[in-house]
Amino acid sequence: MELRQIQYFIQLYQDQNITRASKNLYISQQGLSKSVSRLEEELGFSLFDRHTSGVVPTREADALFVHFNKIANSYQELQLAIDALRQNRVLKIAAYHGFALSCCQDLLSSYRAFYPQAAIRYQEYENPALPEQLLCRQADLAFMRGPIPETLHSLHILCREPVHLIVDKRHPLAEKDSIHLQDLRQQKLLLLSGMEDFNNILLRQLAREGVSCPVQGTADINAFLPILHGSPLAGFGSRRMYQYHHFPDIVFLPLAPEEYEAHPELVMETHLVTPAGMTEDEAAQQFIDYIKQKLRSDD
């Protein structure tokens, strides 16, 4: 029996719906179902009755929930106690790929300069992987793009950034000042990997608008602009993420203001998050307070 299985069980027990629980855990429905099934096999009895409308906890699940919840809470408290006992507390910060480039100021460097004794381990992941990093205590805090699942708590919104259409300057759309979704009809898209959550939102919105945009492929943050250069493809991404890149033949086009008003989900938010219900220790709270104060003073 693994801690991860217990955490997955708790979320499914609370949501009583595979789709909702997997969304809150940022894992696939298949992955959640397999994990719970393996736990049931190990225990020797069923934890949920499956129905088309959702799942219903069994009597055995009701009996175990209190104990499993205590284990999950105790594990978090244990990790905090271990960290407190270490002479050199290492604050584990996770972020989505490209956060360090997209941040309007170098928050981590300025924090280290202000608190030279502070030890930080910073690591970037795919945005959907961040909840698991936090829930499994591989990270204390994370900088994450919204939407934020119910399992996490948003401490502060660092920035809101309208998504931009990115094309080569010779692309037919490059002459426009701003873009409407209808302008994208029959445009071939290159999607930015690491932004699957946003890509899914965008594609669903295009489908609702009746706009057909065939997806030609994906590329990571480093290959994205070189592929678009000289290409008939169009992509979407963060202007901040590429603020230090020099591609004079690449054009960043905002959507028309009325598009952002009609579709607020096309404005990307960056949040500072922790697991919901967790009490931060002194090192984490010091970092949180500094970030909030730094952003207020820079406004």
- The torsion angle over the Cα atoms of residues 124, 292, 159 and 265, rounded to 10 degrees, is 90
Distance CA 285, CA 58 (A): 40
Beta bridge partners of 226: none
- CA distance readout (Å), 125 to 152, 174, 193: 16, 32, 11
Q: What is the pLDDT of residue 280?
A: 85
- CA distance readout (Å), 132 to 38, 75, 151: 19, 15, 10
Instruction: Give every residue of the chain whose pLDDT is below 50, as ranges.
Output: none
Place of tokens 């932004």: 195
Compute how many other C-beta atoms are within 10 angstroms of the C-beta atom of residue 159.
14
Distance CA 112, CA 162 (A): 30
Q: What is the pLDDT of residue 118?
A: 85
Cis peptide leading into residue 248 (ω within 30°): no
Where b means 16+ CB within 10 Å and e means fewer, 18-57 reads bebbbbbbbbeeeebbebbeebbeeeeeebbeeeeebbeb
Distance CA 285, CA 241 (A): 27
The structure tokens listed for 157 are 């919104």
The model carries a pTM of 0.68
Read out DSSP for 270-299? EEEEEETTPPP-HHHHHHHHHHHHHHHHH-
Q: What is the pLDDT of residue 109?
A: 83
Distance CA 100, CA 123 (A): 10
Residue 111: closest CA among 296, 292, 290, 299: 290
Model pLDDT for residues 21-67, shown as the tens digit of each residue: 888 887 888 889 999 999 999 999 999 998 888 899 999 999 999 99
Beta bridge partners of 164: 237, 254
Q: What is the pLDDT of residue 299?
A: 61
Distance CA 54, CA 50 (A): 6
Model pLDDT for residues 174-200, shown as the tens digit of each residue: 999 999 999 999 999 999 987 888 888
Q: What is the pLDDT of residue 152?
A: 94
Q: What is the pLDDT of residue 137?
A: 86
Radius of gyration of the chain (CA): 22
Q: What is the pLDDT of residue 104?
A: 55
Alpha-helix runs per DSSP H in 209-243: 224-228
Contact between 205 and 266 under an 8 Å Cβ cutoff? The reply is yes
Contact between 39 and 47 under an 8 Å Cβ cutoff? The reply is yes
Q: What is the pLDDT of residue 287?
A: 93
